[in-house]
A and B are shown apart, each in its own frame.
Chain A
Amino acid sequence: MQELVLDQPVSRARSELVREAAQADARREFEERLAECGPLAFRVARGVLRNTADAEDVAQEALLRAYKSFERLRDRNRFRGWLVRISFRLALDRLRSAKRREQRDMLWSEPAHLAPSATAEEVAASNQFQGHLERALDELPEKLRLVLLLSAMEGHTIGEIAAMVGVPLGTVKSRIFLARKKLAEKLRCYANVIRMR
């Protein structure tokens, strides 16, 4: 019995070492994915929040959460989709906060966030249209919004989006179509703004 008592710290230390080694491996693997998936997490959050500082905070939080649960993720190939969903969910949570929303609205009016335009009229028109688009995006159902955002990002095919979101290819296509159509319905009344562009 005494021998068992003496043996426990040794086995515990051994299991601790094994655990630390596993953590080091997981960290290495996570680091490899970080360079690729970090921007993805940020862009998803930015697409929802439309504020760089908030989006960076959310991306960090999402990556940290992903790292903490990384060892438990059985299929590492699904990491991107997993991270996208975490980022999207966290961004939505933040967006729902009224305080953050006010701050975001103030910061969004900064011209640094806008696409470069040639004339002052175009800048004004672009600003207006962008504002309307943001509101229309906010009103989109979450499923449609996420798919639309991912499809707007560079370097993602429909197949990759389907894998990330975990839905069939046809569903992704129909969601994109529906989302664009809903946006167009909301923005059609601003056609004069578009004509100005």
Chain B
Amino acid sequence: MLCERHKNAVIEAAANDAALSGELREHLAECASCRAAFAEEQSLFAAIDSSLHAAANVEVPTSLLPRVRARLDEAAASRLGWVRPLVFAFAGVALALVVALMARPHRAGRQEVAKQGPAGAPASMATAANTNREKTSSESTPIAAIPVNHSHTSRDSTSSHSAASSNPEVLVPPDEREGLALLVASLNEHRDLAAALLVHVPEKKDLSIDVERLQIDALEIKPLDGRETEALDSGGEKR
């Protein structure tokens, strides 16, 4: 039976597994029951510790790490498997969008050309177009499809050519599209001006002019004299 006075000290000493205090050591040396109780406590804690140690240090199954690695591989594959199709799908949609954006102005141009076909064109313009068609097929386009005058065309200018045209297409930046649309609209309103623009102007070639050589007679220089000088002057004028 534990002495009440030393009960807690005995239990705590056994639980702490630390060195006993002087007073408790003396008591244990004198009291057999406390000594026995202390021994029981020590064996109890030893049993707890050994059971805990056994439970906490069990052998790890050899299958653990390979199974974990397999699951990590699965997780990585599923993660990439989810991301990659999404990226490709997004890229595909973006590409389709770009193609659609690029194709849209041409379609509009074609529709405009179709509207302003031969039936709708005025006679003057048709005449001008017929005249030009004989010379070059590329110049026979209606107003809405004015071909690019390459001599004046910068990279910013453009023209929407006829649907079947194989001429190079020039992209128009958004800020210049409005200006081009205004030009086309004004040309549509003033057909005569448009027709005049479409008329082929033959290139003028500079002809060489033959100029006769200047014939100068030998001059006779005489001493200055009033009459002779007049005579000389009048002679010069004659020539």
Contacts and interface: CB of A to CB of B under 8 A. Distances in A.
A148 B52 contact: yes
A59 B67 CA distance: 10
B65 to A, nearest CB: 5
A23 interface: yes
Interface in B77-92: 79-80, 83-84, 87, 90-91
A63 B68 contact: yes
Report, as a range, how many residues of chain A touch the other chain: 35 or more
A187 interface: yes
Contact of B53 (A5, A64, A152, A187): A152
Contacts of A134: 55
Interface string A54-79: 00100110011001100000000000
Contact of A181 (B15, B50, B65): B15
B90 A67 contact: no
B95 interface: yes
A69 to B, nearest CB: 12
Interface string A159-195: 0000000000000000001001101100110010011
Contacts of B80: 20
Contacts of A64: 68, 71-72, 75
A183 B51 CA distance: 12
A118 interface: no
A113 interface: yes
Contacts of B102: 2
A197 interface: yes
A99 interface: no
Interface in A111-166: 113-115, 129-130, 133-134, 148-150, 152-154
Interface string A12-35: 110010001001000100110011
A184 B45 CA distance: 7
A46 B75 contact: no
A16 B83 contact: yes
A60 B64 contact: yes
A60 B71 contact: yes
B180 interface: no
Contact of B58 (A5, A34, A63, A113): A113
Contacts of B49: 152, 180
B64 A5 contact: no
B57 A153 contact: yes
Contact of B56 (A27, A149, A191): A149
A63 to B, nearest CB: 5
B11 interface: yes
A96 to B, nearest CB: 19
A27 B72 contact: yes
Nearest to A193: B47
Given A23-B76, A27-B72, A113-B58, A194 B94 contact: no
A87 to B, nearest CB: 12
Contacts of B90: 9, 12
B32 interface: no
B101 interface: yes
B15 A177 contact: yes
Given A38-B60, A43-B56, A46-B58, A5 B40 contact: no
A147 B167 CA distance: 82
Q: 9 closest pairs, A vs B, by CB? A: A152-B56, A9-B91, A152-B52, A39-B60, A115-B54, A153-B56, A133-B51, A63-B68, A194-B47
Given A59-B64, A183-B48, 10 more contacts: A38-B68, A43-B57, A46-B56, A60-B68, A64-B72, A130-B55, A133-B48, A133-B55, A188-B44, A197-B47
